Amino acid sequence: MTHLLQHKAPIMEALNQYKSMRVVPFDVPGHKRGRGNPELAAFLGEQCLSMDVNSMKPLDNLCHPVSVIKEAEELAAQAFNAKHAFFMVNGTTSAVQAMIMTACKAGDKIIMPRNVHRSAINALILSGAVPIYVNPGVHSELGIPLGMAVKDVEQAILENTDAKAILINNPTYYGICSNLQALTDLAHQHDMLVLVDEAHGTHFYFGDNLPASAMSVGADMASVSMHKSGGSLTQSSFLLINNDVSEGYTRQIINLTQTTSGSYLLLSSLDISRRSLALNGKEIFQKVAEMAHYTRTEINKIGGYYAYSKELINGDTIFDFDVTKLSVDTRDIGLAGIEVYDILRDEYDIQIEFGDIGNILAYISVGDRHLDLERLVAALAEIKRRYSKNKNSVFIHDYIRPQVAFTPQEAFYAPKQKLPISESAGYISSEFVMCYPPGIPILAPGERITEEILDFIQYSKDKGCFLTGTEDSDIANINVLKELAK
């Protein structure tokens, strides 16, 4: 990689040049560099609004880049060692959906773990692709879903040799990585595309001693959430392509759903953040890994909590672990992760990334200070002292193997009826139920509702998880398929 090129930030440079020209704007947006909306300008800052501009010749066009955006994409591709990088302004959700819709048409099979983000299953609703789920299993002590075992994927491939692609999480929300190289090689031997959801793995491209990235093992496509660990603005992301994936066709797929009014705030944040990581990424993520290691060590000294790391590695379903992740099991103090999450926010003014039934995740980045880490550790110690209970009070079951009766698209659009969720066992769901974050469905369209699933949904509600997905915002009722009564 030529560092000389990586010093450039073409979109930022073009915006600065445009601003210096003092052009009179008779185009959108209507706030006219903030003058038309003084309250917004005061809140966000005049500098910010002056960069919120329309696509025009000097600034290129995201739908069909030919100049500064094209150059910025080429720099990003070079930085990530990809054939091409697309700037995505509809979040990593749109990148995941573009990957699946590029690889699969209606009726095509795609092999994927069931613990995918809702965006992947949404892509199946949009495209009509058919999921072949691989059971990721669950860690018996921690209650977290694991990676995909190579033998399980091989079995899914041999049973579905007509599948077009395989989707892999790298890493999971908790930091767990599958054997990405082995799975990629296996899929390629059977002429399947390898799509990698790297929403939580941006740093794999720039850190030392971190798990393998999608592009490094020869995967075909990857969605990279730059706004998570990469430093760009929320909702900005990269879609990387490799090998024989067509740049032109992929852009056509992206343009089916992505806005034609790409935000230059988001685009420039991707450009500037890519430059920062390309030039300083190793040092940045070395510091993040050290901060996470220090905090893990201090939390494990408290007792009752378990901040886990590479000691979990088993060579297959936990092939590697992302040491920048601060994932902590809380059940030995008798509290669900979501309860610790709520106490940290309400009592200690500490906002962590998420809590589920058994775990919390605190997102560590270069923006954190040592003082903040100490405050988190002290708060967790105090929570243990003040709130701990009998550990048997916490239910463990974060993964329930689904019974798939219909494809997500068939179920989502099928004639449906509304039932009280408590009376829905035996029916086929036509919608999602999930805790957000992390946004991994407990129930997806096309899956049979069981008493076990209903117990888990009720338990999640009781513990304070934020449930989403159903048409009924209170999650008291659920839409089920009309045809399939008990």
DSSP state letters, 369-415 = -HHHHHHHHHHHHHHHHHH---GGGS---------B-S-HHHHHHS-
The span from the CA of 273 to the CA of 76, in Å, is 10
- For 434, the enclosing helix (H) or strand (E) is strand 433-435
Which residue, chain included where needed, has tokens 């880049």? 65
CB 221 within 8 A of CB 240: yes
Q: For 58-79, give the DSSP string.
A: GGB-TTS--SHHHHHHHHHHHH
The span from the CA of 239 to the CA of 82, in Å, is 10
Instruction: Using DSSP bridges, classify how beta strands 221-224 and 354-355 pair: parallel, antiparallel or unpaired.
Output: unpaired
Query: Measuring CA to CA, which residue among 162, 129, 132, 166 is closest to residue 409?
Result: 129
What pLDDT is stored for residue 399 in this prediction? 61
Instruction: Using DSSP bridges, classify how beta strands 354-355 and 320-321 pair: parallel, antiparallel or unpaired.
Output: unpaired
CB 483 within 8 A of CB 446: no
Cis peptide preceding 437, ω within 30 of 0: yes
Q: Please measure the distance between the N-terminal and C-terminal CA atoms of the chain and give it in whole angstroms.
A: 60
pLDDT by 10s per residue, the chain, length 486: 445 589 999 999 999 999 999 888 898 999 999 999 999 999 999 999 999 999 889 999 999 999 999 999 999 999 999 999 999 999 999 999 999 999 999 999 999 998 898 999 999 999 999 999 998 878 888 888 899 999 999 999 999 999 999 999 999 999 999 999 999 999 999 999 999 999 999 999 999 999 999 999 999 999 999 999 999 999 999 999 999 999 999 999 999 999 999 999 999 999 999 999 999 999 999 999 999 999 999 999 999 999 999 999 999 999 999 999 999 999 999 999 999 999 999 999 999 999 988 899 999 998 999 999 999 999 999 999 999 998 776 666 656 788 999 999 999 999 999 999 999 999 999 999 988 777 788 899 999 999 999 998 888 888 888 889 999 998 999 999 987 544
What pLDDT is stored for residue 397 in this prediction? 60
The span from the CA of 390 to the CA of 331, in Å, is 9
The span from the CA of 399 to the CA of 338, in Å, is 16
Enter the tokens of residue 334. 């008798």
For the chain, the residue count is 486
Global confidence as pTM? 0.95
Query: Measuring CA to CA, which residue among 477, 409, 462, 468 is closest to residue 439?
Result: 468
Map out the domains of the chain with their CATH numbers: 3-9+60-278 (3.40.640.10), 281-392 (3.90.1150.10), 408-481 (3.90.100.10)
The span from the CA of 423 to the CA of 468, in Å, is 19
